[in-house]
Each structure stands twice: as structure tokens, then as C-alpha cells.
Amino acid sequence: MDGAVADRSWRASTPEAIDADLAALWRDVGRGETSVARAVMSNLIVFRSPTSAAGGDMAALVGGVPVEEVAARHPSRVIVLEHCHGEAPRAPSASAVGILTFGPPTARYGVELIVVRSACPEPSLLSILRRFVRGDIPTSIWWTEDMSDAAPSDALLTVGRQLVYDSRRWRDARRGAAAMAPLVRHHRVDLADLNWRRLAPLRRALTHARGQLKSDAWRGVDVRVSHAADEAALAWLFFGWLRSDGVGCADPAPMAEAAATAARDREGGALLAIEIGDMHATLSLRSADVVCPDAPPLGVAAAAESEADAVAAELRSLAPDRTLAAALEAIVERFER
């Protein structure tokens, strides 16, 4: 289910008329020569800052976020919420509805898309979301903003089972961790960090290496992590992973420019470089590689994954990622010290 959009039907709507307008769109779609089945595996609330796009074009309304690609991979009722904090309770100011159609003519399926623009205080935001989510399917919130800048409100989190975000967007890891603190402490929603997925090859490689080297040998060893520019959050996630496993680690530091360049040349663009005693590991976009003395080099390929692939994979996962939660807890603790 990851084909391109075959057709887009959409119309401007009013908040009160969204259900009726969606029903009318389905009737229009249903009158076509090709039958279109509705596909809906979850509610996906896409939270984003208000854009200047208005009225005319659905692609513009959801521009900048790969909504269509995610819907193709994990058909959901997509609710794009453009929200800015308002002073007084008031109805959403604008909305649009659409149906994205996918699949070959013999097996067409359609995905519902609702775009709502609102400016109201947080308590009244919930009443907007409750109106549009379906209760018989899981609800995920995809926070497309930098959480170190703006964190999801309590109200928003009460409607979802899962919060999908990307710590790679964090401009400030410390503030990002501070924003995560209440979520980590209260376990209110399952957390899904797209950046965390990028660590998977490194975690596998090191876990394997630790098995070979008897993991107790890591305890008390000096661990240093350095990261490429814009990869501080990734480094902190790695830090949290080690800490949550009882392995001490110094605070991550940016790679020295010369070292970064050398690493890029050598490893095809290293994102992280790690020293664990006399063991060296790097994570690049292509692989995680571990070099230990007295053992052959070890490499784990990093699968190329688009943002849409990553979001869809997280949406399909209904179990909480306890390892991520533990890593986040360790990061939060470190920053609160």
C-alpha cells in the first residue's frame, strides 16, 4: 500500500459541515466508474504551525509534511491541525476535507483527509479533536514541530495513544529533553521518535559486539560520543541508551571540524563517532561499523528509510518502545542534574 496518489477529491468546508462534506465527497467518489473502498487503520492527527496556504489547493494545505506518502503506507483518517494558541474559545476558522485515492483501478482505496485551522486555548482544542477522531481505531499524534520550541499540550495528548515526533528537529537538545520530561515521567502516551529509528543499526552492532566482548567489560570504561553538526539529539539518544543500560558515558560533544571531515571521508558521512575503551564505532547513513581489537570488524547496514516510511512504521506499532522510554528518562535525568 505505498503507491502514488491516483486521485484527489477535496472541497473547502466549515467545521460544522465537515462530516456532511466528507459524506458528499464519498458519494461523488462512489458514483465513479471504479469502486473505491475506504481504508482507515488509525486516526492520525498531524499537528503543525499555521501556514499561509488557504482555500485553493489541498496539496498546499498539507505542503511540507509528507501526509500523502504516510497515508499511502498506513491508511489513516488524517486530521491536519494547524493550531496557534488563542486567547478566547472560538470555533476553528477554516477547514477543508479531501479523499486521497490510491491503488490500481481494480483495487482502489480512499483515505480521508481533514484540515482544520484553529486558534483557541488548549482546553477547547480538545473539543475540536474529539469531534473528528474515530473511536474504534488507534489515534496517533504526529508532532511535526520542534518540541524544544513548542511542546504538545496536555489536551492534545489526551486524545492519542501515541506521540510521533522527530528529535532531529530539536534545535536545543536540553530544551527538547525538558519538553519530554512530563511525557517520560507520566507515561501518558507511547513515544515514537523517528530519530531513534536511525540509531537502530548502531544499537544492533554494539549489542552484538558486547556479546562478543563480554559486556561487563564496558562497565567503568570511558565512553565518548561525538556527533556531526545537527545530530546532537541523536547523540543524546545514544547517551540515554547507554545510561539506561548502566553504562557510563560522557556528555556528547560535536565532532571537531577536522575529525568530522575525516570521518565523512572515511565512513561516507559519519553522524556519530563513538569510543568505548579501545573499541571504535561509527554510525553513518549507510551503516553502523564497529572496530575492536582482536576481533574482525563488524558492520550492520542502515536501511534507507524516508520520513513517511518511518512514520508509517511507528503507526503500525501498538506496543510501547520501552527501550526508548528508558533512554529518554536517562537523558531527562542528566539534564535535570
Q: How far is the CB of 32 from other proteins (least distance, A)?
A: 8
Site track 43-82 with other proteins (rule: CB under 8 A), x = hit: ----------------------------------------
Residue of 224, 243, 226 lying closest to 235 (CA atoms): 226
Q: How far lies 25's CA from each of 11, 39, 248, in Å?
A: 8, 15, 57
Q: What are the residues facing 139 on neighbouring strands?
A: 43
Q: Which of residues 76-115 bind other proteins (CB under 8 A)?
A: 89-92, 110
Among the listed residues 5, 6, 12, 15, the single contact to other proteins using CB under 8 A: 15
Task: Write the DSSP assignment of 189-237 as a string of letters.
Answer: SEEEEHHHHHTHHHHHHHHHHHHHH-GGGGTT--EEEEE-TT-HHHHHH
Q: Which is nearer to other proteins, 200 or 262 (CB)?
A: 200
Among the listed residues 67, 80, 125, 331, the single contact to other proteins using CB under 8 A: 125
Q: How far is the CB of 282 from other proteins (least distance, A)?
A: 26
The distance from CA 294 to its chain's CA centroid, rounded to whole angstroms, is: 39
Convert 86-101 to b/e letters by CB count within 10 Å (16 or more is b).
eeeeeebebbbbbbbb
Q: How far is the CB of 6 from other proteins (least distance, A)?
A: 15
Inter-residue contact 235 to 227 (CB < 8 Å)? yes
How many residues bind other proteins (CB under 8 A)? The answer is: 45
Stretch that binds other proteins, among 36-44, 142-150, 202-210, 230-238 (CB under 8 A): 36-44
Contacts of 5 (CB under 8 A, 6+ apart): 68, 72, 100, 101, 102
Q: How far is the CB of 41 from other proteins (least distance, A)?
A: 6
Stretch that binds other proteins, among 19-27, 213-221, 259-267, 288-296 (CB under 8 A): 19-27
Q: Which of residues 308-337 bind other proteins (CB under 8 A)?
A: 316-319
Q: Which is nearer to other proteins, 258 or 304 (CB)?
A: 304
Inter-residue contact 73 to 316 (CB < 8 Å)? no
Q: Which is nearer to other proteins, 289 or 321 (CB)?
A: 321
| Interaction of residue 31 with other proteins, rule CB under 8 A | yes
Inter-residue contact 9 to 34 (CB < 8 Å)? no
* Pairing between β-strand 5-13 and β-strand 270-276 as defined by DSSP bridges: unpaired
Q: Which of residues 138-197 bind other proteins (CB under 8 A)?
A: 138
Stretch that binds other proteins, among 123-131, 195-203, 218-226, 292-300 (CB under 8 A): 123-131
Q: How far lies 147's CA from each of 92, 110, 177, 210, 310, in Å?
A: 23, 32, 9, 33, 18
Q: What are the residues facing 80 on neighbouring strands?
A: 46, 115
Residue type, 106: T
Q: How far is the CB of 186 from other proteins (least distance, A)?
A: 17
Q: Which is nearer to other proteins, 190 or 231 (CB)?
A: 190
Q: Which is nearer to other proteins, 114 or 234 (CB)?
A: 114
Q: Which is nearer to other proteins, 20 or 256 (CB)?
A: 20
| Interaction of residue 6 with other proteins, rule CB under 8 A | no
- Please measure the distance between the N-terminal and C-terminal CA atoms of the chain and give it in whole angstroms: 46
Q: Which is nearer to other proteins, 30 or 246 (CB)?
A: 30
Q: How far is the CB of 127 from other proteins (least distance, A)?
A: 4
d(CA 297, CA 288): 11
Q: How far is the CB of 47 from other proteins (least distance, A)?
A: 15
Which positions lie near other proteins, rule CB under 8 A? 15-16, 19-20, 22-23, 26-31, 35-41, 89-92, 110, 118, 120, 123-128, 130-138, 316-319
